[in-house]
Amino acid sequence: IQEEDVETPWGKVQCSLKGNPRGNRPVILTYHDIGLNHQTCFSSLFEHEDMQEITGHFAVCHVTAIGQQEGASMLPTTGFEYPSMDQMSETLPIILKHFGIRTIIGVGVGAGAYILAKFALSHPDLVEGLVLINFNAQAEGWMDWAANKITGWTQTLSDVVITHLFGKEEIQNDHDLIATFRHHVTNNVNQTNLQHFVKSYYGRKDLEIERPVPGGNMNVKTLKCPSLLVVGDSSPAVDAVVSSASTSPSSELYTKAPGKLTEAIKYFVQGMGYMASASMTRLIRSRTSSGNSCSSLDGSRSRSQSARSQAQQGGEPRGRSHTDVSMESASHSLAEPAMPAPGTAQVTC
């Protein structure tokens, strides 16, 4: 594991690279949400036993935003301006060059999802796929801005972060989980640095992503790479997700059921043409053994969705073989709603 601080025009970015980039294979690059870092945001996912099969095929680079690592010193108060979300996305080409990474599959949550999406829009040749979680492509509306401004007068910074990360039901019912995250946000993250990051996120610009319509203008701004968009029914970002034609998971997906997300990522990666010989996850094996009567139906759906996916992506992606695996065949609980962009899968958990 390489732990390095990469120098950028906006400050040093802490990065952790596990494994070595392999030839033409992309590196999985993660970017966390506000109030978190790569350990607190992704540890339960990447430590899950089913995820080990995926990371056995790819190097993984975790990126922590400037000043957000545990134990970080307070950033300068004079002569320093914290980077905007757009500027944070521009630190990524520098990081890729530093580690000799050719392309990535980005995995981002909340603010990190926005940063990775902006990076993919600006540098489509460097991004082979995206897993966007709690993704809000829109700028903060003035009503939301006013509400957050008033909330900021009456709530602590940790309250603002907690209400961003968790839904009302989780805050009211899962007191141990909320207490754990609140302790982390309050005691392990420099509060001044966190405030900078939160301010940048709530000051983000609208990405102006549009869905190309057949027969209409096909030159709209949209993600060019396959994208896996994930949503949870108790997520606090559901409204933003719907209006952005994007999705987000509830925090429950990470803290209580990382296997569901692991399963979705695995089939997404296989659909990109990687890990074609990988075995089924434990979740799929259990469903297969108890639901063989559905196999013929799933098979037909898989073939039809594979054909649609291939057509949307313009044939086989980047010269690799296309794997005939659909998100619907991955799990009976994974749905196939309207897709926001070509090559995009959407999952409800």
pLDDT at 140: 77
pLDDT band for 83, please (50, 70, 90 cuts): very high
Per-residue model confidence (pLDDT) at position 218:
66
pLDDT of residue 310: 39
Query: Of 268, 325, 319, nearest to 299 (Cα)?
Result: 325
> Which carries the bigger pLDDT value, residue 73 or residue 330?
73
| pLDDT (0 to 100) of residue 293 | 37
Q: How far, in Å, CA of 345 to CA of 264, rounded?
A: 10
Identify the pLDDT of residue 307: 38
Using 50, 70 and 90 to split pLDDT, how confident is the model at 257? low
Q: Is 242 left (phi over 0), alpha (psi -120 to 50) or beta?
A: alpha
CA dist 14 and 5 (Å) reads: 4
Quick one: pLDDT at residue 318? Answer: 44
Q: Is the pLDDT of residue 13 over 70?
A: yes
> What average pLDDT does range 256-278 have in this prediction?
83
Among 57-66, 109-118, 222-231, which stretch is predicted with the lowest mean pLDDT? 222-231
DSSP 8-state class, residue 25: P
- 70 in Cβ contact with 97 (< 8 Å): no
Q: Which of 13-22, 109-118, 259-268 has the lowest mean pLDDT?
A: 259-268
Judged against a pLDDT cut of 90, whether residue 222 lies above it is answered with no
Could you report the per-residue pLDDT of 125-184, keeping only the tens digit for each?
Answer: 999 999 988 888 888 765 455 555 555 555 789 999 998 888 888 888 989 989 999 999
Residue 13 in contact with residue 91, Cβ under 8 Å?
yes
**Rounded CA Rg of the chain:** 20
User: Model-level pTM greater than 0.75?
Assistant: yes
Which pLDDT band holds residue 301 (cuts at 50, 70, 90)? very low
Residue 346: per-residue pLDDT: 45
For the chain, the residue count is 349
**With 50 as the cut, is the pLDDT of residue 212 above it?**
yes
Please tell me the predicted confidence (pLDDT) of residue 166. Answer: 87
For position 240, what pLDDT does the model report?
A: 53
Q: Which band of pLDDT confidence, cut at 50, 70 and 90, is reported for residue 281?
A: low
HSE-up of residue 30 (Cα within 13 Å, Cβ side) = 25
pLDDT at 62 over 60: yes
Residue 196: per-residue pLDDT: 95
Q: Is the pLDDT of residue 290 over 60?
A: no
Residue % of the chain over a pLDDT of 90: 42
